[in-house]
Amino acid sequence: MNGISFVKKLITCVLAGWIIGETVNRMGVTYFRTWVSLRIFAAIPLLAVVAAVAYCLIWHARKTNSQPTLAFWQGLIRYGVAFDLAEFGWAKICHLQLVMPMSKLDLPYSSFSASDLFWYFFSYSYALGCIIATVQITGAMLLLFHKTRLVGVFILLPVLANILLMDIFYQIGFGVVVHASIMTAGILYFLVIEFNQLKEFFFAATNRLPELHFSRYVKWIIRLSIIYIPLLLITMHGSVDKYPGLTGKYEVKKLTINEQLLERSNCTDSILTEVYFDIKKGCVFQFNTPLKRWTGTYSKDSDHLKIRWFSPADKPVFNGTMSSANRSGKIMLTGRLGKDSMEVIVEKVNN
């Protein structure tokens, strides 16, 4: 019987204790916080790790290499990860996760935090949530069976990696990142202990696919083409932001139509209040509210500016010039909007 090193015992016990502790902690906080103090749940992961370390030291001191004992602790890792992910899956199906408060749905997009954007995106499609849930539950079940354990690992690893990266970059919360990291570590554990078997399968196994009879250099040129051809096409296409200095949101400071100064007297007036010069030569005139907008594209040649509208399509074309209003950086648009003369002074807003 092969010996079990102390390092392997320690890593297995600590990981099992941590995963079980974190799973119990999350279940308690989610479902039993009404009856039990959160401080008690917060202490469970630490107590579980301490107990696991203590058992590991006793196990090693007895100088036994019991495979059933190792299997038990590895089983705890599998069950903890599987239970956690399965619960997440069922929570998605039962509308307990990936939901967005209705009170936030009417807020401006720019007011959303990174985590709000995350929840809004995934709450949009219940079907997508169910697909993710099905993958999680299926992978969790496969992880619990000895013969399908690695299949479950390969299903759950990209799921957990994706969750972990989104938790980090969408700033879901430090505790959430720690939880996802622990579960990911549990999955990676089984990849590491099966490293030799996986190395044999992926790199040493006989290739039964037919080979192309090209020279090695031609093959490398073809392989590298997925790098240099897309980059060449993108370079030829150019940037979507043709005028980066102009791109931005502008607030209307002064508006004159047919030599008559217009001022907003209240929040219901339908006069021009914001102008957006966007990527892909997009342009938007906003009249006091996002519900009243003209959306179109502009063309610019030196100081000449022309704006055509496609929503609504029946709005008159703006044809005029763009110049600097003064040294403060304000911009003046002068020209004709259909049959009306128009002069607008706008100032860039730093969002």
Residues 334 and 189 in one domain: no
pLDDT digits (tens, 9 = 90+) for 300-332: 988 999 999 999 999 999 999 998 866 667 899
**Domain containing residue 269: CATH number:** 2.40.128.280
Structural domain includes residue 120: yes
Position 203 scores a pLDDT of 80
Structural domain includes residue 195: yes
Residues 101 and 28 in one domain: yes
Structural domain includes residue 14: yes
Residues 336 and 283 in one domain: yes
Structural domain includes residue 230: no
**Largest alpha-carbon pair distance within the chain?**
96
Residues 23 and 129 in one domain: yes
Q: Let me know: does 183 contact 160? Beta carbons within 8 Å.
A: yes
Structural domain includes residue 299: yes
Residues 67 and 175 in one domain: yes
Q: Let me know: does 272 contact 287? Beta carbons within 8 Å.
A: yes
Structural domain includes residue 240: no
Structural domain includes residue 212: no
* Contacts by residues 191-198 (CB-CB < 8 Å, ≥ 24 positions apart): 191/153, 191/157, 194/150, 198/150
> Which range marks the domain in which residue 275 is found?
248-349
Angle at the Cα of 69 from the Cα atoms of 63 and 75, rounded to 5 degrees: 150
pLDDT digits (tens, 9 = 90+) for 258-315: 989 988 765 556 789 999 999 999 999 999 888 899 999 999 988 999 999 999 999 9
Position 321 scores a pLDDT of 94
Q: Which residues of the chain have pLDDT under 70?
A: 1-2, 265-269, 325-328, 351
Which residue spans within the chain are E strands per DSSP?
Answer: 248-257, 260-262, 274-277, 282-286, 293-301, 304-311, 318-324, 331-337, 340-349
Distances (CA, A) of 140 to 71, 88, 293: 18, 11, 49
Choose the final residue of a domain: 139, 171, 204: 204
Residues 200 and 281 in one domain: no
Please tell me the total count of domains within the chain. 2
H or E, element range at 130:
helix 126-143
Residues 282 and 176 in one domain: no
Structural domain includes residue 238: no
Residues 47 and 193 in one domain: yes
